[in-house]
Amino acid sequence: MKTILLQLKKQLTFIILLFISVGIMGQTLIAYPLNNNLNSNVGPIGITNPSINYYDPPTVAAPNFLFNHLLFQNNLDEVRFSFTAPTPYNDGLILQLHTTIAGAGFGSISANIQIFMQVDSQPETKIDEKNLTAGIFIAGGDSDDFSVPLTGINVSSQVKIRIVGTSSASGATLQFFGVNNLKLVRNTTTISVRSTKTPQPPFITHNAGASLRLDTDFKSRLTNEEWLDITYLIENTGSRVLEINSMQLVPNNVGFSIIGTVPATINAGQNATFTVRFAPTDQGIKTAEVVIGGNIVPNNPFRFEVKGNGKSCNLGSVPILVQNFETSGSNLNTSVISAGAPGSTGATSNTPNPTLGTGVQLYPAGTNLYSAESPTRSIFVRGSGTDASSILGTGEVTLEFGPVDLTGQQEVSVNFEVAAFSTSNVTSSNTNTGSGVNGFDYVKLQIMKPDGTFSDEIQLKGSPDTDEMDPRSYKYGFGQTIIPESNYDGMLYTVNNTNTTKYGKFKLNIPVSALTNNFKFRIVAKTGQSGERKSRFSPYDRFYNRNLWLIDNVHVDAGNAKVKTWNGTGWTGENTNKPGSREKALFAGNYNFTATNNTGNLSVCECEVNAGVNLTIPTGKFLSVRNKIINHDPIGNNFVVESDANLLQEENGIVNSDNITAKRIIKVGAARNQYNYLGTPVNFASGETFKTIYPNATFVLYHNEANNMFYNSSGVNIPGRGLAVKEPTGSGATNVTATFRGVPQNGNVILPIANSNTALTTLGYNLVGNPYPSNIDLLSLYDNNGGQTGDFQAPSPNISATFYFWDNNGNGQFTQQGTGYQGQAYATFNVLAGSTGTGTKSSLGTKVPTNIVKVGQGFMTRAFQSNYSFKFNNRVRTDAVSSADFLGKGNSNVQDDRYWLQLTAPSGITSTIAVVHYASGNNAFGPEDSRSMGGSDAIYTMVENEKIAIEGRSSFANTDRIYLGTKHFATGNYTIGLDDKEGIFANGQSIYLKDLQTGIITNLSDGNYTFQANAGESTGRFEIIYKPESVLATNQTVKESVIVYRDGTDFIVKAENKKITALEMYDSVGRLIYSAKPNAVKVNIPTDRMLNGVYILKIDQGGTVTTKKVIR
């Protein structure tokens, strides 16, 4: 019987062990094994006041345990568990529980478990229930797991759980019914991130700094040319779906970007990849954080650092810190921090001792005892005592170097030279180890880590043999060229000398992420003993400290720009070619772009001019510099940018500090009463302002946006601001040179501009100026401020697409003054009117602006926002060739289909407008249309009741019709003609002007049209068509039966044949303001008492009614 019960017990144990509890992944906040007590073995974490008890309701009862389970002793007994909900989170809590039944005999058993929960004072609810059943043949059982989400819990809620069990048996005997492994688990969404490179680096921890080992150091890349992509794997190591709602770089403007997209969700156990690209635009170390936000627990958002270095130039390695162990010439701090003592090989002992001593012979042959860079001394490391001493060999000798500041350096490496010598030349044999180094002897290079400990990086062993008494035969002097080279990554790189390979130099590259201001490194060296014995079978009984490591020429190198030097007659450096865009130009002799084979433009990475050397950029040439401009002449008169020359810089982050001189030739009139809008290309040198740019005295005004008035200015420079500068005193119309002396402005220039009343079209005009010693491109400037030019145009919400240029040639208006000024002296340029923009000249001038704005040019821009930061940067700078006109004219290979119409008044004053057809245009009023500035005599097109000076239209169609308006200062003969034409209009497409008053159609492509007009404004008399009359639509007579136009101050209603029997005029709200029954073909409607606005004419011709819309 005992045997049967024992077998049954074993079977039940086996069955129960089969039913192992399986929990979900997540963070366990508290766990009760319930194997032999009610104690927890995990937690509590986060929750407070946990409590668990066994109840035989209504009282607490003593628990019983069997087979590592808490048994239900009676039906409806309970396990009660309570806690206070955690404050950092109030969802994602899961109750886990394992339950098992087992029986013996023949029949069946069953059990029921119900779980109830009460939160605070809310009613208790059943949250889960499970039934267990098992058919029994000798022995059997059943098991199940609970994993119950606890919902409706608030922060700090009081939570009570009741677990109630009942059981029954039929035929069989219920031997076992219990629970164990009760847990409260937080459903987590932890993540792991690591690089995908092979071999795969370690996981990146939250807030990890950049490092080469983690593959978050992007090394050095040439600016605006090279990039590096590193792909990272993000894995959901939590227990629920990972939701990613953001992935960004902070900051996001230092050259790093995230390529591609990461899924919004990643299931538990799954992964996705994302790629970080480093493409620097400026020189220097760039640091950003990858920030991943979502439902990550813990550490949300998860972040880690990335670093990279942007370099403008191709670099050559040069020592910046040296320890040569000579009596002078070292600038690298060195200290001995070990018990062992190195000594000097020099004729004079240095501390610490020992020295080799007088007459000691070194082998091999006592030659090459010093590095070539350190001709008289080096440091040796060997065991203590004399050559014949029986004292055991030395321990490690450690030399520490630093601390040094490496921030701001590029492509840094730690280097030193090593040699192996002996004080004996005995060779190895059965009874002698010989002399020299073997694998027991080593030299190591260590780098200090951020935590202050040191990491072994490179190790040279004397030979592959590792025992101290292994053969010793490797001896060699300085000058070996083989270099063990590695990167500082926390991984030891070991090399061994061999018969054919002797390592003489160490080089360890220091990544960007390790360039600190407290950089330290150590050289650790150790030598062992040589031994002798009486026979090959006896132990070594004599020991000698014969073996030495010699260390010399320790230096820290950094990358400096590769240099080409101009000596006055030619270039010197790696070759005699002129420097390329990744080389530095050093001017040690005068240079003016005229020497043989050196007349072309220069593009270099850095520019340096020695004191006493003249560098002149002549008209039509440019010098483009990626990075620094250095001038050693403090005045700056030696570095000259002539008028219509260009000095460009590419990288926005460079801050110049040395003076140059930039010049601008300006035409002045005989009266010397005009003003020019100017901007300064330099931050003025001490004592310089806008008032000092001319040889003679001048006056300077600033523009007040709020009232369009000009007021006296001190002339100081606010980068990006334009000022009105009066022509200098003197006599005669001539050219004068404005001279700007100071530090060349570069990079980001932010100028606050304003619009004091955005509802008025007369306000919002701000006077700005080209802030650079190079031309700028208005298309790029508009793109820089929220717009988009080119094939896929989009308007800027911040500024107008139209820029305004004051043209003082032949101008009797000295300055713009007040909101009533109608702008007749402004030439305009619209960046959206055509693929490269379109300009029109002023009514009083001859200059047509294009997208190129020259050095020193000022201009008006209109703000759409009450306050806006107008942005210049190097992206807008250009070396595009310009014409001699100060307003600037660029060359473009793209020509739109466009033409310029010009109205010439009897006084000779002209007004010019442009019509541009291009693919991105449209025929409605938009940002590609520039409003007319008016003037005493003006021509304009009409678009949706707006008067337009530059009209952008969709691609050319010969059915187009363009409506014109004209304004006349006095009665007389006026002429309309073509001023210029491009595209199809310059290749045979005719432009017809139709005079609806006279019925005359003129082909302007063949000649001008002269007409008589009364003083005033005419808005319905002219239109442009692209087909001659004979091929117009068949209903032309109906269309032309009645025309309405302005003539002076009157509206003219004119019928061709049929008399007008009744005429009524209504205002925009439907009020009748004029009525007549003229019974004539022509009616004059006086408008002198009408308000400005839109009016509707109802024209009755004996029952045929026509309506027309007119504008006063």
Using the predicted structure, report yes or no on whether residue 477 has a pLDDT greater than 90. no
Q: How far is CA 923 from CA 110, 534, 1094, in A?
A: 84, 109, 21
Residue 789 CA from chain centroid, whole number: 21
For 517, left (φ over 0), alpha (ψ -120 to 50), or beta? alpha
> What is the structure's pLDDT at 775?
96
Bond preceding residue 352 cis, omega within 30 of 0: yes
User: Smallest Cα–Cα separation from 916: which of 829, 1002, 975, 1001?
Assistant: 829
Of the chain, the percentage scoring pLDDT greater than 70 comes to: 89
DSSP labels, 787-820: -B-TTS-B--SSEEEEEEEE--TT-S--S--STT
Class of residue 288 by CB neighbours under 10 A (exposed 0-12, middle 13-18, buried 19+) = buried
Are the C-beta atoms of residues 941 and 948 closer than 8 Å to each other?
A: yes
> What is the structure's pLDDT at 808?
63
What average pLDDT does the structure give for the chain?
86
Give the span between the Cα atoms of 414 and 484, in whole angstroms. Answer: 12
Bond preceding residue 263 cis, omega within 30 of 0: no
- Looking at residue 435, its amino acid is S
Using the predicted structure, report yes or no on whether residue 209 has a pLDDT greater than 50. yes
- Mean pLDDT for 310-338 is 90
**Residue range 277-318, pLDDT digits in tens:** 999 999 999 999 999 999 887 789 999 999 999 999 999 999
Using the predicted structure, report yes or no on whether residue 468 has a pLDDT greater than 50. yes
**Residue range 1064-1073, pLDDT digits in tens:** 888 776 778 8
> What is the structure's pLDDT at 449?
94
* pLDDT tier, 336 (very low <50, low <70, confident <90, very high otherwise): confident
Using the predicted structure, report yes or no on whether residue 892 has a pLDDT greater than 70. no
Q: Which residues contact 352 (CB under 8 A, 6 or more apart)?
A: 336, 341, 342, 343
**Residue range 547-582, pLDDT digits in tens:** 888 899 999 999 999 999 999 999 999 999 999 999
- Looking at residue 647, its amino acid is L
> What is the structure's pLDDT at 356?
56
Domains, in order of start, for the chain: 65-185 (2.60.40), 217-312 (2.60.40.10), 322-350+375-426+434-531+544-559 (2.60.120), 562-649 (no CATH), 660-811+824-876 (no CATH), 897-1025 (no CATH), 1042-1111 (2.60.40.10)
- Lowest pLDDT segment from 6-15, 198-207, 860-869: 6-15
- Mean pLDDT for 128-152 is 89
Using the predicted structure, report yes or no on whether residue 700 has a pLDDT greater than 70. yes
Neighbour count for residue 375 (Cβ, 10 Å): 12
- Mean pLDDT for 726-741 is 86
How many degrees, rounded to 5, is the angle at CA 738 between CA 732 and CA 743? Answer: 175
> What is the structure's pLDDT at 544?
82
- Lowest pLDDT segment from 720-724, 769-773, 1084-1088: 1084-1088
Tell me the Cα Rg of the chain.
45
- Strand order, beta sheet including 1042-1047: 1042-1047, 1050-1055, 1082-1086
Helix (H, G, I), strand (E, B) or coil at 3: helix
Which residues, listed in sequence order, are joined to residue 938 by a DSSP beta bridge? 967
> What is the structure's pLDDT at 1039?
41
**Residue range 24-33, pLDDT digits in tens:** 456 788 999 9
- Lowest pLDDT segment from 175-189, 463-477, 526-540, 1085-1099: 1085-1099
> What is the structure's pLDDT at 363?
82
Helix (H, G, I), strand (E, B) or coil at 17: helix
Q: Which residue has the higher pLDDT, 395 or 408?
A: 408
> What is the structure's pLDDT at 344?
52
Using the predicted structure, report yes or no on whether residue 528 has a pLDDT greater than 50. yes
> What is the structure's pLDDT at 354?
39
Q: How far is CA 838 from CA 570, 824, 966, in A?
A: 44, 18, 21
> What is the structure's pLDDT at 254?
93
> What is the structure's pLDDT at 8?
44
> What is the structure's pLDDT at 4?
36
Q: Is the pTM of this model over 0.85?
A: no
Give the span between the Cα atoms of 1073 and 474, in whole angstroms. Answer: 116
* pLDDT tier, 815 (very low <50, low <70, confident <90, very high otherwise): very low
* pLDDT tier, 1093 (very low <50, low <70, confident <90, very high otherwise): confident
Residue 107 CA from chain centroid, whole number: 75
Q: Which residue has the higher pLDDT, 53 or 3?
A: 53
> What is the structure's pLDDT at 457?
96
Give the span between the Cα atoms of 694 and 713, in whole angstroms. Answer: 16
> What is the structure's pLDDT at 385?
47
- Lowest pLDDT segment from 370-384, 499-513, 615-629: 370-384
* pLDDT tier, 1035 (very low <50, low <70, confident <90, very high otherwise): very low
- Lowest pLDDT segment from 223-237, 263-277, 326-340: 326-340
- Mean pLDDT for 957-976 is 91
Using the predicted structure, report yes or no on whether residue 83 has a pLDDT greater than 80. yes
> What is the structure's pLDDT at 357?
53
> What is the structure's pLDDT at 917?
92
Two tokens, residue 649: 């810089």
Of the chain, the percentage scoring pLDDT greater than 90 comes to: 54
Looking at 629-766, list the stretches that DSSP marks H as alpha helix, in order from N- to C-terminal side. none
- Per-residue b/e over 112-131, b at no fewer than 16 CB within 10 Å? ebbbbbbbeeeeeeebbeee
Bond preceding residue 354 cis, omega within 30 of 0: yes
Using the predicted structure, report yes or no on whether residue 185 has a pLDDT greater than 50. yes
Using the predicted structure, report yes or no on whether residue 621 has a pLDDT greater than 90. yes
User: 């949300």: which residue's tokens?
Assistant: 300
State the DSSP H helix or E strand holding residue 15, giving kind and residue range, or none if neither.
helix 2-18
Q: DSSP strand E in 463-605: where?
A: 485-487, 493-496, 505-510, 519-526, 530-532, 542-544, 547-561, 563-566, 571-572, 584-587, 602-604
- Lowest pLDDT segment from 759-763, 804-808, 1039-1043, 1081-1085: 1039-1043
**Residue range 979-1031, pLDDT digits in tens:** 888 889 988 899 999 988 888 888 999 899 999 888 888 888 899 999 875 43
Using the predicted structure, report yes or no on whether residue 731 has a pLDDT greater than 80. no
User: Smallest Cα–Cα separation from 826: which of 836, 816, 817, 838?
Assistant: 816
Helices and strands (DSSP H and E) totals, the chain: 3, 79
> What is the structure's pLDDT at 807?
75
Q: How far is CA 868 from CA 758, 789, 797, 864, in A?
A: 12, 20, 10, 8
> What is the structure's pLDDT at 400?
94
User: Smallest Cα–Cα separation from 381: which of 488, 307, 480, 460?
Assistant: 460
Using the predicted structure, report yes or no on whether residue 266 has a pLDDT greater than 90. yes
User: Smallest Cα–Cα separation from 638: which of 609, 603, 678, 667?
Assistant: 609
For 929, left (φ over 0), alpha (ψ -120 to 50), or beta? beta
**Residue range 156-171, pLDDT digits in tens:** 889 999 999 999 989 8
User: Smallest Cα–Cα separation from 363: which of 135, 219, 548, 215?
Assistant: 548
Are the C-beta atoms of residues 206 and 138 closer than 8 Å to each other?
A: no
Give the span between the Cα atoms of 557 and 747, in whole angstroms. Answer: 30
Give the span between the Cα atoms of 676 and 695, in whole angstroms. Answer: 16
Using the predicted structure, report yes or no on whether residue 389 has a pLDDT greater than 60. no
According to DSSP, the β-strands at 877-878 and 910-917 are unpaired
Using the predicted structure, report yes or no on whether residue 1055 has a pLDDT greater than 70. yes
Using the predicted structure, report yes or no on whether residue 6 has a pLDDT greater than 50. no
Helix (H, G, I), strand (E, B) or coil at 331: coil
Give the span between the Cα atoms of 548 and 424, in whole angstroms. Answer: 11
Bond preceding residue 44 cis, omega within 30 of 0: yes
- Per-residue b/e over 723-735, b at no fewer than 16 CB within 10 Å? bbbbbbeeeeeee
- Looking at residue 158, its amino acid is Q
